[in-house]
Amino acid sequence: MTSASPWIRTTTVETFRADVIDESQKCPVVIDFWAEWCGPCRQLMPILEKLADEFAGRFILMKINVDELPEIAGAFGVQSIPFVVAMLDGQPVAQLPGVQSEHHVRQWLESFVPSPATEAYNAGLQAEGSGDLETAEKLFRDAASHDPETSAFQIALARVLLGLNREQECGEIMEALEARGYLEPEAQSLKEQLEMRHVVEDSGGTAEARKALDADPNNRELQILLAEALSVDKRYAEACDLLLNIISTDYTPVRDKAKEAMVTILSAMGPKSKQAADYRRKLATAFY
d(CA 64, CA 277): 49
Query: Going by C-beta distance under 8 Å and a sequence separation of 6 or more, which residues neighbour residue 197?
Result: 162, 167, 232
Query: 114, 57 in Cβ contact below 8 A?
Result: no
Query: 129, 151 in Cβ contact below 8 A?
Result: no
Picking from 180, 199, 169, 177, the residue whose alpha carbon sits closest to that of residue 264 is 199
Q: For 78, what's the count of Cα atoms within 13 Å in the CB-facing half-sphere?
A: 27
Picking from 234, 200, 281, 206, the residue whose alpha carbon sits closest to that of residue 131 is 234
Task: Say which of 27, 38, 170, 240 is annotated catalytic.
Answer: 38
Query: 143, 117 in Cβ contact below 8 A?
Result: yes
Asked if 38 is an active-site residue, the reply is yes
Asked if 27 is an active-site residue, the reply is no
Query: 65, 97 in Cβ contact below 8 A?
Result: no
Could you give the residue numbers annotated as active site?
38, 41
